[in-house]
Amino acid sequence: YDQFGTGMIFRAYEEWTLGFDNSVDGVRTILTPAKGVTIKGIWGSQRFFWDRYTAKSLRGTIRGGDIDLFLNDVIPSMANSKTKITLGAGMISRNQKGEHEELKMPENVAAWSGRMNISHGGFFWLTEYGIYAEGRALYSSMSYSQKGFGVSLGGKWIDNMSFKSDRNITGQALDINFLPPMTKTHSYSLAAMYPYATQPNGEAAIQATVNYRVPKRSTLGGKYGMGIELNFARMQSIKKELTADALGYTTKFLSVGDRLYFQDLGIEINKKINKHFKFILSADMLKYDMQVIEGHIEPATLEYNFAPKWFFAIMDQYNYVNKDGKITYTMAGKKHTNEFKKLHYPTVSAGYTKGTTRVLLSYGRQREGILCVGGVCRQVPAANGFKITITSSF
């Protein structure tokens, strides 16, 4: 497992709870020829579930290298500077034989990237630019923090950056690169059910987050203080012009299209009441393509923790639309009907945690999607009744 920079051209990682693992079976070399200089080299084949790579496999192999230069160590005059600068560059290549002799498919396809990190006191700036075949991407993030206050701004532009070790594979398998998201990772209930997936074929995104800690023993902060977080993220299409003489399109760098993919505007307030009780109040406005069909859902969660082992939670989600109804449509000569109703999804949960083992008992109605209780999220099916869950790691 490893990555070059932000992972824009190469990242090998696992997320087993989501069924994802694209680790590389091969050779990795890390060299430090001088102080402040790190060089990586990698060669191998990606994991594809339980299908082992062989010489007859249709999927390709990957090889590449990366270099990091920490200028404060490389340049003696910058050794004591408060400004820290790191430069980096990487290259990764896929080698895959063409299975159709009549098609002239390139066996070697490469991606390149350059990056820069600058920090000074509470200020930090990261930017990376990548090129893959006919694709390109720019990622930039800037943040500033001091005691009780922090702000971050980010922007991303992507065009044709889906890079796999097998050109014929679709979905999430055999991804060589990772395109960093620009959305907040929600921990609780409703918002976590609608995560945004980066669109490698074209996306323009911005994000802004502001955090403020109300001081202790102030009018609003009280004895323990209070945390406030504002978050905004917006993802849109990029402008594309179809070509008349061939399949494909053209686009201008940093162009922004008219179609809205996703928007998240939210505020979260957390306040500790005493040693045993605190509350978290959050409000989110999400916009995405399915909003009109699925209606709107309002969540409410009450959670109490008997630190450090027990917790108890009551949650309800209400799907409200103008009225109960249904949509009937015809596909492939057959009629289909989707019903939508005003429904409550109440759930009562209690859990116990000891070490790395967690036991959860719950009763109620749950929606299909991602369920979060106690800050732990997982994919769940639609269900109504009792459920016990035991998780452990070792």
What is the per-residue pLDDT for 339? Answer: 58
Cβ-based neighbours of 355, under 8 Å, separated by 6 or more: none
What is the per-residue pLDDT for 266? Answer: 92
Q: What is the dihedral of CA 354, 358, 361, 362, to 10 degrees?
A: 130
The percentage of the chain sitting over the pLDDT mark of 70, rounded to a whole number, equals 82
Identify the residue whose tokens are 């905004």: 232
Cα(374)–Cα(258) distance, integer angstroms: 38
CA-based max dimension of the chain: 76
What is the per-residue pLDDT for 372? Answer: 55
Q: Which amino acid is at 106?
A: P
Residues of the chain short of pLDDT 50, as ranges, are 291-295, 322-323, 327-332, 373-375
Collapsing DSSP to helix, strand or coil, 230 comes out as strand
Collapsing DSSP to helix, strand or coil, 294 comes out as helix
Model-level pTM? 0.73
Which of 131, 135, 154 is closest to 207 using CA atoms?
Answer: 154
Contact predicate 348/362, CB 8 Å: yes
DSSP annotation string for 13-29: -EEGGGTEE--EEEEEE
Torsion sign over Cα 63, 156, 129, 125: negative
Each residue's pLDDT tens digit, 318-366: 665 544 555 444 444 556 555 556 678 788 888 888 888 889 888 988 7
